């Protein structure tokens, strides 16, 4: 078995070190590391294993000159998002950086205040050769970033499925199936009036989750009722949306929310109306955000492994950049239901719930 040792404890390992350790020319080492077809597979594997064992890392500027790539993946965070990406950003970045680092790539993160700033930053990063490709988080159904990067002939991958997604690379979670499953669980408990609070219609995920809600109703034999559907993008807006649902002549006995942040607003509205979550009103969220874990009773929700998502997006984008001739890569994974005390059998019919709420509003005791 061939033995190699890490060279010069505190010095940078060079191709010369590898050449000396393996008794191969520096040219052979370089061509093996860069995957040239004239190098045998056995030699390539031998060189790569030695490079890993000795801690070799190529100089990024030398690679940029040779390959025309900076070996950097970019992510532009839009600070104007209502939640500033809080539900998933930390875990997502951890997975992304880990996957990129394993392949010898780096991550460039920029922030923008407006959509125009985002487009300008992406253009500048491409023109200055500081990024080889972009991950587009939380894509919109009609996302201007897609057209901008296509015009720049720059690889990208979407976290989500925008319109015409079949023609591009994406990674997504099957939130339609999650919403349909949620309706099924509520229907199995006896709920027949199930409200839905979705997010802004500009987001691609908003369309998928609303479609899942409607699919779940159909599977449960319930007709969609437009008055049971509201939209919100913040906790405060969700409080108002939930209050509007509870003022209906036949209010829902359960409310399904597109995100956990929106579910927290339903909790607030229920408390203001004197309703007990899980008994008087059932609630299911989506994201398994930290807020959900702190809510009481614990919110029933769907968990998304954002660390795994970041890692998958990083690997998929690197493959897209290094193998541009390959067709778009696409991956959809399921969300995992996390039960909680926020759901139960309905204590009242919609009509009885309306009467109960009316008496409370009138200040009557019962």
- Per residue in 127-173, pLDDT (tens digit) is 999 999 999 998 999 999 999 999 999 999 999 999 999 989 999 99
The answer to the question of residue 127 being in a domain is yes
Number of domains in the chain: 3
Query: What is the pLDDT at residue 40?
Result: 86
CATH number for 24: 1.10.260.40
Query: What is the pLDDT at residue 59?
Result: 58
* Total-model pTM: 0.81
Whether residues 46 and 179 fall in one domain: no
pLDDT tens track for 196-235: 999 999 999 999 999 999 999 999 999 999 999 999 999 9
The answer to the question of residue 95 being in a domain is yes
Whether residues 213 and 164 fall in one domain: no
CATH number for 87: 3.40.50.2300
Domain hosting residue 89, numbered range: 72-168+306-337
- Phi-psi sector, 46: left (phi>0), alpha (psi -120 to 50), beta: alpha
Query: What is the pLDDT at residue 1?
Result: 47
Which CA distances in Å does 316 have to 77, 85, 92, 174, 310?
20, 21, 14, 18, 10
Whether residues 244 and 329 fall in one domain: no
Whether residues 140 and 81 fall in one domain: yes
Quickly list H helices, the chain.
15-22, 26-33, 41-54, 60-67, 89-102, 115-127, 144-151, 175-188, 204-219, 235-246, 260-273, 290-294, 306-322, 350-361
* Mean pLDDT, residues 239-265 taken together: 97
Whether residues 190 and 291 fall in one domain: yes
Sign of CA dihedral 295, 300, 304, 307: positive
Whether residues 245 and 330 fall in one domain: no
The answer to the question of residue 3 being in a domain is no
Whether residues 331 and 280 fall in one domain: no
Whether residues 187 and 277 fall in one domain: yes
The answer to the question of residue 149 being in a domain is yes
Whether residues 347 and 205 fall in one domain: yes
Whether residues 43 and 79 fall in one domain: no
Whether residues 215 and 241 fall in one domain: yes
Residue 284 and residue 183: Cα distance in Å, rounded? 9
CB distance 70 to 100 below 8 Å: no
pLDDT tens track for 273-326: 999 999 999 999 999 988 778 899 999 999 999 999 999 999 999 999 998 888
The answer to the question of residue 5 being in a domain is no
Whether residues 207 and 353 fall in one domain: yes
Tell me phi and psi for residue 29, to 5 degrees: -60, -50
The answer to the question of residue 156 being in a domain is yes
Query: What is the pLDDT at residue 262?
Result: 96
The answer to the question of residue 97 being in a domain is yes
The domain boundary, picked from 32, 57, 82, lies at 57
296 preceded by a cis bond (ω within 30 of 0): no
pLDDT tens track for 21-50: 999 998 888 778 766 667 888 898 898 888
């Amino acid at each position: 078995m061939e033995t190699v040792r890490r060279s010069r404890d505190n010095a940078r390992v060079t191709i010369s070190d590898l050449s000396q350790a393996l008794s191969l020319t520096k040219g052979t080492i370089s061509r093996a590391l860069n995957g040239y077809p004239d190098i045998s597979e056995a030699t390539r594997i031998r060189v790569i294993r030695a490079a890993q064992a000795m801690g070799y890392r190529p100089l990024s500027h030398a690679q940029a000159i040779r390959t025309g790539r900076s070996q950097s993946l970019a992510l532009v965070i839009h600070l104007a998002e209502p939640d500033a990406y809080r539900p998933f950003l930390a875990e997502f970045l951890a997975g992304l950086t880990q996957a990129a680092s394993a392949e010898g790539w780096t991550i460039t993160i920029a922030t923008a205040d407006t959509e125009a700033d985002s487009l300008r930053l992406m253009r500048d990063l491409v023109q200055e050769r500081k990024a080889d490709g972009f991950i587009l988080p939380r894509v919109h159904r009609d996302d201007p970033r897609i057209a901008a990067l296509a015009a720049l002939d720059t690889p990208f991958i979407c976290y989500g499925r925008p319109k015409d997604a079949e023609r591009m690379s994406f990674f997504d979670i099957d939130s339609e199936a999650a919403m349909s499953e949620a309706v099924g669980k509520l229907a199995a408990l006896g709920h027949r009036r199930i409200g839905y609070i979705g997010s802004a219609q500009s987001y691609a995920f908003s369309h998928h989750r609303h479609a899942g809600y409607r699919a779940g109703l159909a599977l449960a034999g319930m007709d969609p009722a437009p008055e049971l559907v509201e939209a919100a993008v913040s906790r405060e807006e969700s409080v108002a949306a939930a209050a509007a649902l509870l003022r209906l002549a036949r209010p829902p006995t359960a409310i399904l929310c597109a995100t956990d942040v929106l579910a927290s607003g339903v909790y607030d509205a229920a408390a203001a109306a004197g309703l007990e979550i899980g008994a008087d009103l059932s609630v299911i969220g989506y994201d398994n955000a930290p807020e959900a874990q702190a809510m009481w009773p614990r919110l029933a929700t769907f968990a998304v492994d954002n660390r795994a998502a970041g890692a998958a997006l990083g690997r998929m984008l690197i493959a897209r950049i290094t193998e541009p001739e390959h067709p778009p890569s696409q991956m959809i994974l399921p969300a995992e239901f996390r039960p909680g005390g926020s759901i139960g059998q309905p204590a009242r019919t919609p009509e009885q719930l309306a009467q109960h709420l009316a008496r409370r509003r009138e200040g009557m005791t019962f």
